[in-house]
Structure 1
């Protein structure tokens, strides 16, 4: 099975343009009609966005003078469905049981 992933190069592209703070990007986005809060801009630059609107992507490409291919590098990884003897499970695939307590109004635990 193949797993799809990508590498987000926004921070590197910003550095190539001399922009080293997320606050450098916010007014330039606003000039292009993209209104993001300080926190949203920070997450866009430092994180790994799962959803990205086309207007933001186009604005970023315009600001940085690049193409979407320069910002997003797809990665395809072959993943095995079979567990090999002695192999440990990744933290994502571990399932842990947790006891749940339901407290109803008017009753004391």
Structure 2
């Protein structure tokens, strides 16, 4: 059985939190750091969830946005995958135990 890992990509949200609302705002900032991406590549990076991502590009995004990897990438359990659900639960805050109310 292979474990499938899923994640949510929050680049658009983090950009908006930093006042960058258009993909055209990100392109010159990436170019300053040596990443000459086309406008369509930058759009796909922002609008879609990347399957593969160069770690140097990820580091440049973290530098540009002043955020951490946890801000950009949120691990989530794969549907029907217990191992992935367990792995993702390590990143979630603990849930309180349900109270047992006893009659007087």
When the two structures are superposed, what TM-score results if normalisation uses the length of structure 1?
0.69
Deviation at 1:77, TM superposition (A): 2.9
Aligned residues: 80
**CA-atom RMSD, angstroms?**
1.5
Give ranges in structure 1 of 5+ residues lacking alignment.
Answer: 81-109
Could you list the structure 1 runs, at least 4 aligned residues long, displaced by more than 4 angstroms after superposition: none
SS at match of 2:70: helix
SS at match of 1:63: helix
Deviation at 1:78, TM superposition (A): 4.6
Report matched runs for 1:77-92 at 5 Å. 77-79=78-80
CA contact (8 A) 1:32 1:59 kept: yes
SS at match of 2:5: strand
Further displaced range: 2-11 or 43-52: 2-11
Give ranges in structure 2 of 5+ residues lacking alignment.
Answer: 82-104
Distance in 2 (alpha carbons) for counterparts of 1:34 and 1:77: 32
Distance in 1 (alpha carbons) for counterparts of 2:70 and 2:32: 23
The structure having more radius of gyration, on CA atoms, is 1
Greater per-residue strand proportion: 1
When the two structures are superposed, what TM-score results if normalisation uses the length of structure 2?
0.72
Instruction: Please state if 1:29 is matched with 2:30.
Output: yes
1:61 corresponds in structure 2 to 62
Deviation at 1:28, TM superposition (A): 0.2
